[in-house]
Amino acid sequence: MSASVEPTDAVADTDTRITPPDDPFRWLWLAEAAAEHYGARSTLRRHIAEGRLATAQKIGRSWRVRKYDLDSLIVERAAEPSCEDVEAAVARIVASAPPLTDAQIRTLSAAFVDQLKQRQTVGAK
């Protein structure tokens, strides 16, 4: 009985002499994908189980997946919003919100007064 071991070095179907590293159709073993920062092997296995890596193939006890499937997992990080962006978003929310009831206004006023008193006591120390 032979044990299947997931390759960590380039093998025939992932050899960069045959397939360039930027080729989207290149097969990667999970260890290779993890080494290329697509996520931990456990995370990649979870993506396979959830069906998010459609090209994944199980060979023995090991998994391999196409690079383009891994690239689809990458989500670009959104830029930090500017003050103008935040103010515009607040203005849109305020414009679409229903008017406050008198009870809501009293509750908010009491909360603001409490915060103002806390700031004044902290500033007095």
Strands (E), the chain: 27-29, 57-59, 62-66
Radius of gyration of the chain from its Cα atoms, rounded to whole angstroms? 27
Residue 43 resides in a domain: yes
State the Cα–Cα distance between residues 77 and 113, nearest whole angstrom.
38
Each residue of 31-41: pLDDT tens digit? 999 999 898 99
Q: What average pLDDT does the segment 8-36 reach?
A: 73
For the sheet with 57-59, list strands across it: 27-29, 62-66, 57-59
* Domain total of the chain: 1
State the Cα–Cα distance between residues 117 and 112, nearest whole angstrom.
9
Residue 91 resides in a domain: no
Residue 100 resides in a domain: no
Residue 123 resides in a domain: no
State the Cα–Cα distance between residues 11 and 57, nearest whole angstrom.
16
Residue 50 resides in a domain: yes
Q: What average pLDDT does the segment 13-33 reach?
A: 77
Q: Write the CATH number for 34.
A: 1.10.10
Residue 124 resides in a domain: no
Residue 65's domain comprises: 12-71
Each residue of 63-119: pLDDT tens digit? 999 999 998 888 655 678 889 988 999 999 989 989 999 999 999 999 999 999 999
